[in-house]
Amino acid sequence: MLFEYSIKGGDFSTAGQASSRFKKVLQQLNVPPQTIKRIVIALYEAEVNIVAHAFEGTINIEVQPGYVVMTLTDKGPGIPDIEKAMEVGYSTASPKVREMGFGAGMGLSNIKNNADILEIQSKINQGTTLKITVNLNQENVIKE
């Protein structure tokens, strides 16, 4: 099954809508609550990153029997130093975004902690693509 959602950069009034819609899909598919939790945390953080940093973006989600792959592609500033961006507490968010309680430098680490595979590709002044894979059968997954 394939799902696609469009995200508008800067529009915090709709941030989280795609995650909310996909959460309902996962519930209908009877995915276990603990797995829904991991998928939704990773997806919401990635969705908010597009709203906070990019001009626009697209979320493509592929649901397979054993796993979910969420690919988030944005047009935006890109990430100059991905390793640095992954550090907890490092953030380039604007003061306005921080006042709302976002931009604490926890988003990407939240994504990493809840994903089984996380791939990030980014080009400066063009955009960023996140590919997040979460296994649906968590008992078969050995996590650190």
Partner 1 sequence: MQISEIIQALGLKAFTESAGLSRNATGGYTCDLLSDVMGHSQSGQIWITLQTHKNVMAVASLRDLAGVILVNGLMPNADMLAQAIEEGIPVLGTDENAFDISGKLFILLGK
Q: Which residues bind partner 1 (CB under 8 A)?
A: 12-13, 15-17, 19-20, 23, 33, 37, 40-41, 44-45, 48, 100-102, 104, 106-107, 110, 113-114
Closest CB to partner 1 among residues 37, 131: 37
**Distance of alpha carbon 81 from alpha carbon 95, whole angstroms:** 21
In whole angstroms, how close is the CB of 99 to partner 1 at the nearest point? 9
Closest CB to partner 1 among residues 66, 101: 101
| Residue among 13, 92, 99, 87 at smallest CA distance from 51 | 13
CB 67 within 8 A of CB 115: no
**Distance of alpha carbon 64 from alpha carbon 136, whole angstroms:** 9
Closest CB to partner 1 among residues 94, 126: 94
Instruction: List, in order, residues 6 or more apart from 118 with CB less than 8 Å away.
Output: 111, 112, 130, 131, 132, 133
In whole angstroms, how close is the CB of 126 to partner 1 at the nearest point? 25
Closest CB to partner 1 among residues 27, 126: 27
In whole angstroms, how close is the CB of 74 to partner 1 at the nearest point? 18
CB 59 within 8 A of CB 7: yes
